[in-house]
Every structure is written in structure tokens, then in C-alpha cells.
Amino acid sequence: MNKTITFLAKDLGKKIRLDKYLADNLNDFTRSQIKKIILSKNIKVNKKLINSASEKVKEDDLIEVSFPDKTNNDLKPKKINLDIVYEDNDLIIVNKKSGLVVHPGAGNQDETLVNGLIYLYKNNLSNINGDFRPGIVHRIDKDTSGLIVVAKNNQTHNSLSEQFINHSIKRKYFALVWGVIRPLNGKIVTLITRSKNNRQLMAVSERLGKKAITNYKTLKTFSSNEIPRMSLIECILETGRTHQIRVHLAHKGNPLIGDKKYGKKKQKFKKINLRFEKILSSFDRQALHAKSLGFFHPVKKKFINFESKLPSDFKKILDFLDKFGN
């Protein structure tokens, strides 16, 4: 059975190939898979059937994509060691480890949070986001650790989704960045859109994109002649754009430590503590952790908040830095 999705092309500075635009925006499909769908005459642009992958699309073009609907039968339950912080009849709070993708997509069908969830809960998860993303209300990046809420039923899913849309969900992140952000405490408000240079990345834009708001507070700065200057920052999201914190901090000139996409490509230090250099080199992801998550419980009708401990790799860096903290 085919499923059709319809949407308007957005955040385009100029015309772009249809296959490239769809590959950037349909996360479950590779560009080659998109080409096959186009050649199978399953895509319309402004009600016109398209059979060429090189067809160009522009801002506000109406795109209709028909593709095979994926069901739970396509998903493989997988025993994955999940850190369940809280669970009741309506929802689950998971402290996601870094390196774990939230839901299946191109190149990873079996080793995701969703595979672990259907192993534990089978069909006892919401299905509003489709059978391929059971229970998933929101996401955090693969190499970001921390708290994520999962819905067990559609009533809970709808309520949580509405709270995300209304920005009433309270989300706090800890971020370890290069340098000292100025001012020490503040609010970053920009538009965020896809990068013109690399459609897999996001970027701050003056004209295009969606409004993104990140409140931040410097918790501690670290500096000495043995280590480069660094800061531990608390970020509170008002919006939840793709890679928002990573993009905003890089835009301020203080990228996350370990961020391979938005950070400094190669760090060179005139002088550095050799033990700390070894700790840094073994830290193979961005230093970002979803520390707390709070929301109004859809059934219990009260505000609940959850906190998570920093993972060991993040804590190892901070434990060393604490002797140089201000």
C-alpha cells in the first residue's frame, strides 16, 4: 500500500534539483532511492507528474510524494540496553546514550532506539508518526546524549506534540564549548535554514529559514597555561530546530568540543597537558547532553521534571577541568 505526503518546498535560496531537495528533507531515504521513486512516476510538483531527477524546484512549490508505506513488520526488534529513567502507562523517559540513532533511516535499519523500544513494548506505542517511528515524539542527534520522551498511546503523543509546538516543554542542555562566550549569559535569536554549501548541514541565515531561540548561561569557565580556554554552558531551548544548539554556538564563535560538523576541524595547541590531550582525543562526539526534561503530564495533569546524570565520557573531561575552573 502506498502512502502519499504533501508539502511545500521551503528554505530555498535558489532553485535546486528535486532529487537533492528530497534527499535532504526525507530522512528515511537516500538520494538513489529518491531517484527510483521519481523514475517510477510517484512524484508530482504543482500537480504535474515528474519523471526526471534533475527537475528543479523553487520556494513554495507543491510537492507530492507517493512511496511504499513502511510498517512495524519492516522493523526488527533488537535487544538494546536502554536506560529507562521513568515509565508509566502513558509514557517512557529514556536517557539516550551517545551513538544511538533515534529511529531507522537510510544506512541504519536495526540499531536504533526504535528497534530497542519495539523489542520491549511491541505494539504498545503511539503510531501517529507512522509505523516506522512508533512512540517517537521528538529527536536528539545521534551523538548527543540525554533525555527523550516516548509516547505509549496517541492521546499522550498528541498532548506532548502540542506542548512542543507551544514551546511549553522545558529542555535544558549542558554544552562544553571552546573559548568563553560573550556575553556570559544571554539569548541567541536567529533564523536557521539548510546550508547553501552543504545541504546536510544547517546554518544561520538573515532572510530564510525558521526562527530559532536558545537561552544560555555560562556555568563555569576553564583556563590555564596547561589547557585551552573552555566553558561549560547551560542551554535552554525555546524552539527545537535541527542542530539548533550546535549551529547557534558555532555562530557565536564557541563551537562544541568534539563537534565534527560545526566545530573546529583540527585543533593545534601550543602547550597542553598531555593527560588532558589524551582525554580529548578519546572523546569521539560533540560535548552536548540533554540534562533535563519537563512537561505537563497528559493524563496525571501535573507538571513533571526529570534530570539525568552526565555520561562518563563527558564527566571525565569535566572532572579534569574542575581544577582549572573559575
* Residue 167: φ, ψ to 5°: 60, 30
Active site residue 69: no
- DSSP string for 144-188: -EEEEEEESSHHHHHHHHHHHHTT-SEEEEEEEEES--SSSEEEE
Q: What is d(CA 326, CA 184) in angstroms, rounded to the nearest whole number?
A: 13
Amino acid at 198: N
Buried b (16+ CB within 10 A) or exposed e, 184-222: eeeebebbbbbbeeeeebbbbbeebbbebbbebebeebb
Q: What is d(CA 210, CA 10) in angstroms, rounded to the nearest whole number?
A: 10
**What grid cell was written down for 267?**
585543533
- Are 38 and 50 contacting, i.e. CB atoms less than 8 angstroms apart? yes
Q: What is d(CA 186, CA 262) in angstroms, rounded to the nearest whole number?
A: 21
Catalytically annotated residue among 141, 143, 259, 313: 141
Q: What is d(CA 152, CA 201) in angstroms, rounded to the nearest whole number?
A: 32
* End-to-end alpha carbon distance in the chain: 60
Q: What is d(CA 239, CA 212) in angstroms, rounded to the nearest whole number?
A: 6
Taking the C-alpha atoms of 162, 234, 117 and 101 in order, what is their torsion angle to the nearest 10 degrees? 110
Longest dimension (CA), the chain: 64
Residue 102 CA: distances (Å) to CA of 121, 169, 232, 249? 16, 19, 26, 23
Question: Annotated active-site positions, please?
Answer: 141
